[in-house]
């Protein structure tokens, strides 16, 4: 696979890891936050932590859309699925997210019409194929997926599809990064900036991270070599006492972003005054709702949703893990009540959630090794 | 407690027939979900937690896809498999061929030469006659190619909307091959893991054929009988083969995890040695799937003794359709019950059984 294999070349990875070790100051302890869940997944998938020196700590950020969605929002979506005329269409990641009375998949097994789609356009096509039903698309994601929801709504309006609406849970990354920088006790040295989001928003919006908070940020790709190179770039900045926004992922991310995608988003969405994030609480102007011109396609305008705030199970410490205060295995439920098969919190659901990634790729091995050591 | 006989050794204990923990029903899932059929953890919970305790006799032990029995001195293998694929026809095959190959392959990797099949059709009212004819023809042709006789069966019709065109069940009987003696318990640290060819062709082909994802490729299902390859392997290194499995639902990851658990050993795969075709890798990369979780319908995994590994590989590679066989890993003492994939740059990851259905990621 071109553009993938080159960035997984074992020889180059070993070289890059050696460069990281050479450049890390042994007198310092580094805390880098990878904002994006895709990065968290890659870090565990490729066991990159094993290649890093011990004084470089990676802190997993809030960039996993289903992980930061509060349970009440899932419940509202499932309430829509309970209406007889409604087909709820959702991405695969959403299907196993626990609501108060089970996940979308469990609701489906009990008879709710929930369908998995790969893109919002597929949900629109479904609506056109099923004119007697109403298709609600459970929209979720950062600026990565918001443009495709926007383009779908533009088409729905142009084609006059009336039996289609969007339940928008789109959020924006910048206010979340600011909230993390503002939260007390957050000792971070630098950021590995999100790759996919930046293909849309570009690199300029991160300027405040360097200018106002004096922290370096490097927008990074997702392959092992990308991440190691980004860490080298951060180490260089810190060694030279620079705080800049740099783009490691230039082969995909244009500095100015994608103007067409941004236009589509601006046409369809406006900022909500505030939105609740799991773990981070209410963050003002951090989420997208449909503009009044698209009210006819806004599921929250067309239907009543309970809109109840649901607190996470008491023992679950998703919030602390999301903020990077706790590591996944430090949560009381981790690996016991909460596993990828029976997730209590959403961080255990998505492959991009820190808990699922940690559980799948690290936890079971250390558990097995500990058991083997105990026997020996 | 008063009804307990006074001689009961410990009145607090469950009745005698449940004293064997394998006899105790442990299945507590409130309802059946699609994941119970996906071949991963939920499937295993259903089978081991409910079916084995209730049906399990000596025949179900060890828990494989094939039951071994001895009838008047003849050592036979018996298996059954149901096919509910959608769409019925996909590039490289269709449900009729799949129904033959699935059962033939279970027999083959169970160490038996496939002899005969029973075929049951569950047809949905409204299914065009030509569709049924096409699948019957595909099934007959596949059976002929695989050298098995279709010796009987049954047909049922359900109302329109109650089945997706047709479901097919085949039951197969085979003669246990005296050259082979297979059991997870015979697997030893140091043994090598062999795969007969690229992984994931079938699963990705069917996923793409459903048309839910707008990806195009010239990928075809790998559906075929693996018996000719198993036969070559048995001929070349017979007794050195310890274990075989065809990685269907749940993929190679699930098959190897079951082996690791049953054998109480660890398995370490060399990530870069696992053969996967570029379109399968590409689709998996795009959809966030792991090729090790994707179903094959014409490949098998084998564990062979280390001293026979090279000869086993050479035998497969020299056989028609075996050119892409590869040695992909090794059995280790630890970590017990775990499958690891190691990368040549030093890192390794745990390869778990499939959880739920393979789901794509969103960003």
Name the stretches of chain B with pLDDT < 50: 1-16, 360-363
Q: Of the candidates A1, A110, A350, which has its C-beta nearest B278's C-beta?
A: A1
**Is B334 within 8 Å of chain A by CB?**
yes
**Is B155 within 8 Å of chain A by CB?**
no
- Which residues make beta-bridge pairs with B121? B155, B168
The C-alpha atoms of residue B225 and residue B239 are separated, in whole angstroms, by 22
Under an 8 A CB cutoff, do A14 and B345 touch?
Answer: yes
Instruction: Return the CATH number of the domain spanning residue range B184-350.
Output: 3.90.650.10
Write out pLDDT tens, residues A186-239.
789 999 999 999 999 999 999 999 999 999 999 999 999 999 999 999 999 999
**Is B31 within 8 Å of chain A by CB?**
yes
Under an 8 A CB cutoff, do B360 and A141 touch?
Answer: no
> ipTM of this predicted complex?
0.76
Find the mean pLDDT for residues A58-68.
Answer: 88
pLDDT value at A249 more than 50: yes
What is the value of pTM for the model shown? Answer: 0.83
C-alpha distances in angstroms, B300 versus A17, A336, B49, B110, B182? 36, 34, 27, 11, 14
A278 band by pLDDT with thresholds 50, 70 and 90: confident
- Per cent of chain A over pLDDT 70 is 96
The C-alpha atoms of residue B268 and residue B327 are separated, in whole angstroms, by 12
Structural domains of chain A sorted by starting position, each given as residue range(s) with its CATH number in brackets: 5-64+173-247 (3.40.50.11750), 67-172+257-302 (3.40.50.11740), 318-375 (no CATH)
- pLDDT at residue B348, rounded to an integer: 82
Residues of chain B positioned with their CB less than 8 A from the CB of A149: none
Write out pLDDT tens, residues A337-372.
888 878 888 788 777 788 988 887 776 666 656 555
Nearest to A288 by CA among A279, A296, A300: A300
Q: Which residue has the tokens 């706790």?
A: A326
- pLDDT at residue B166, rounded to an integer: 94
Better-predicted residue by pLDDT, B173 or A318: B173
Residues of chain B positioned with their CB less than 8 A from the CB of A35: none
- Are A32 and A59 within 8 A, CB to CB? yes
Better-predicted residue by pLDDT, B43 or A141: A141
- Delimit the domains of chain B by residue range: 62-176, 184-350
Residues of chain A positioned with their CB less than 8 A from the CB of B337: 368
Closest approach of chain B CAs to the CA of A233, in angstroms?
21
Helix (H) or strand (E) holding B68: strand B67-71
Residues of chain A positioned with their CB less than 8 A from the CB of B354: none
Instruction: Return the CATH number of the domain spanning residue range B62-176.
Output: 3.30.1330.10
Residues of chain B positioned with their CB less than 8 A from the CB of A91: 360, 362
Helix (H) or strand (E) holding B171: strand B166-176
Find the mean pLDDT for residues A263-270.
Answer: 97
Write out pLDDT tens, residues A176-196.
999 889 887 778 999 999 999
Q: Of the candidates B32, B288, B338, which has its C-beta nearest A351's C-beta?
A: B288
State in Å, rounded, how far the first CA of chain A is from the last one: 43
Sheet with B112-124, edge to edge strand ranges: B67-71, B74-83, B166-176, B112-124, B149-158
The C-alpha atoms of residue B25 and residue A22 are separated, in whole angstroms, by 57
- pLDDT at residue B13, rounded to an integer: 44
Mutate to test the interface with B, among A43, A67, A90, A93 (most CBs of B within 10 A): A93
Closest approach of chain A CAs to the CA of B362, in angstroms?
7
- The phi and psi torsions of B350 (rounded to 5 degrees) equal -80, 135
- pLDDT at residue B8, rounded to an integer: 39
Write out pLDDT tens, residues A8-47.
888 999 999 999 999 999 999 999 999 998 999 899 888 8
The C-alpha atoms of residue B238 and residue B242 are separated, in whole angstroms, by 9
């Amino acid at each position: 696979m071109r553009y993938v294999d080159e960035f997984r070349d074992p020889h180059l990875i070993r070289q890059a890891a050696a460069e990281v070790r050479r450049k890390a100051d042994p007198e310092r302890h580094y805390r880098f936050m990878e904002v994006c869940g895709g990065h968290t997944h890659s870090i565990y998938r490729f066991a990159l932590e094993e290649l890093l020196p011990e004084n470089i700590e990676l802190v997993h950020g809030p960039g996993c859309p289903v992980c930061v969605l509060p349970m009440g929002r899932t419940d509202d979506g499932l309430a829509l699925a309970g209406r007889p005329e409604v087909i709820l269409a959702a991405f695969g990641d959403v299907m196993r997210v626990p609501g108060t009375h089970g996940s979308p998949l469990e609701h489906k097994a009990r008879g709710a019409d929930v369908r998995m789609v790969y893109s919002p356009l597929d949900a629109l096509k479904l609506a056109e194929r099923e004119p007697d039903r109403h298709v609600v698309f459970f929209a979720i994601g950062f600026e990565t997926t918001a443009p495709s929801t926007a383009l779908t709504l533009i088409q729905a309006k142009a084609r006059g599809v009336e039996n289609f609406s969007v339940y928008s849970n789109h959020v924006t990354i910048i206010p979340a990064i600011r909230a993390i920088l503002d939260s007390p006790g957050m000792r971070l040295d630098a950021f590995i900036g999100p790759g996919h989001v930046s293909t849309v928003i570009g690199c300029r919006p991160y300027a405040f991270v360097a200018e106002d908070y004096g922290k370096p940020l490097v927008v990074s790709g997702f392959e092992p070599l990308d991440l190691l190179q980004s860490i080298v770039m951060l180490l260089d900045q810190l060694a030279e006492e620079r705080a800049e926004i740099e783009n490691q992922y230039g082969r995909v991310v244009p500095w100015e972003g994608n103007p067409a995608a941004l236009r589509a988003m601006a046409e369809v969405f406006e900022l909500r005054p505030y939105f609740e994030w799991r773990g981070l609480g209410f963050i003002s102007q951090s989420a997208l709702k449909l503009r009044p011109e698209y009210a006819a396609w806004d599921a929250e305008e067309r239907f009543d949703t309970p809109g109840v705030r649901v607190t996470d199970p008491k023992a679950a410490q998703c919030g602390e893990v999301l903020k990077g205060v706790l590591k996944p295995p430090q949560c009381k439920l981790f690996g016991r009540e909460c596993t990828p098969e029976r997730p209590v919190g959403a961080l255990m659901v998505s492959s991009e959630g820190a808990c699922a990634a940690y559980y799948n790729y690290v936890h079971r091995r250390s558990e097995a090794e500990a058991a083997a050591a105990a026997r020996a | 407690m008063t009804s307990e006989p006074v001689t009961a050794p410990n009145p607090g204990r469950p009745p005698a027939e449940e004293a064997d923990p394998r006899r105790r029903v442990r299945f507590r899932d409130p309802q059946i979900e699609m994941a119970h059929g996906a071949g991963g953890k939920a499937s295993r919970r259903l089978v081991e937690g409910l079916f084995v305790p209730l049906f399990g006799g000596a025949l179900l032990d060890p828990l494989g896809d094939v039951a071994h029995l001895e009838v008047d001195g003849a050592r036979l293998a018996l298996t059954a498999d149901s096919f509910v694929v959608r769409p019925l026809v996909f590039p490289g095959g269709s449900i009729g061929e799949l129904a033959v190959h699935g059962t033939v392959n279970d027999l083959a990797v169970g160490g038996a030469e496939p002899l005969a099949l029973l075929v049951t059709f569950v047809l949905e009212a409204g299914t065009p006659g030509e569709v049924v004819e096409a699948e019957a023809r595909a099934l007959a042709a596949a059976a002929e190619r695989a050298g098995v006789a279709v010796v009987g069966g049954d047909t049922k019709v359900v109302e329109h909307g109650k089945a997706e065109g047709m479901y097919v069940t085949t039951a197969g009987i085979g003669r246990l091959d005296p050259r082979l003696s297979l059991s997870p318990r015979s697997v030893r640290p140091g043994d090598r893991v062999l795969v007969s060819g690229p992984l994931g062709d079938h699963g990705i082909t069917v996923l793409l054929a459903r048309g839910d994802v707008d990806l195009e490729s010239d990928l075809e299902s790998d559906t075929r009988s693996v018996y000719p390859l198993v036969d070559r392997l048995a001929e070349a290194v017979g007794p050195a083969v310890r274990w075989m499995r065809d990685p269907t639902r749940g993929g190679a990851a699930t098959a190897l995890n079951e082996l690791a658990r049953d054998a109480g050993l660890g398995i370490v795969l060399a990530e870069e040695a696992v053969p996967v075709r570029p379109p399968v890798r590409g689709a998996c990369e795009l959809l966030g799937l792991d090729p090790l979780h994707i179903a094959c319908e014409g490949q098998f995994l084998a564990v062979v003794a280390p001293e026979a590994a090279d000869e086993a590989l050479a035998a497969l590679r020299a056989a028609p359709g075996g050119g892409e066989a590869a040695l992909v890993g090794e059995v280790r003492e630890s970590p017990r019950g775990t499958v690891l994939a190691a990368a040549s740059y030093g890192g390794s990851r745990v390869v778990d059984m499939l959880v739920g259905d393979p789901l794509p990621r969103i960003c």
